[in-house]
């Protein structure tokens, strides 16, 4: 059986979700966010993305998952280590 080594990023309304294996983490984002369009870089929980915003268009966006994971009492190194890729899915 192949082990899933990618996470999925998506957004709906005011929330972004980051899903890996059986964990789905949701956090607030701008209400002006229409959608994420590209993952430029994923480095140990730090994401560099292109996002499409109302009235702004395509904009470079950054998400640091480390503080979010710490607040949720995750072992961030253990959680992030197997992730080799982040995909955007809607």
- Residue 1 inside a domain? The answer is no
Which three-class secondary structure string do you get for 21-59?
A: CCEEEEEECCCCEEEEEEEEEEECCEEEEEEEECCCEEE
Tens digits of per-residue pLDDT, 32-41?
999 999 999 9
The confidence score (pLDDT) of residue 1 equals 47
Q: Supply angle C-alpha 65, 48, 5, rounded to 5.
A: 65
The confidence score (pLDDT) of residue 48 equals 98
Percent of the chain predicted with pLDDT > 70? 97
| pLDDT, mean of residues 12-21 | 95
The confidence score (pLDDT) of residue 4 equals 80
| pLDDT, mean of residues 19-37 | 95
| pLDDT, mean of residues 49-64 | 96
Distance CA 69, CA 32 (A): 24
Range of the domain at 34: 6-88
Q: Count up the domains in the chain and report the number.
A: 1
């Amino acid at each position: 059986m192949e082990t899933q080594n990618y996470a999925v990023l998506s957004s709906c309304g005011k929330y972004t979700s980051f899903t890996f294996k059986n964990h789905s983490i949701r956090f607030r984002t701008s209400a002006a966010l229409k959608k994420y369009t590209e993952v430029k870089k994923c480095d140990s929980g730090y994401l560099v993305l292109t996002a499409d915003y109302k009235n702004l268009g395509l904009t470079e966006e950054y998400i640091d998952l480390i503080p979010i994971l710490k607040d949720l009492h995750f072992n961030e190194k253990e959680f992030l280590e197997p992730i080799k890729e982040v995909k955007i899915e809607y």
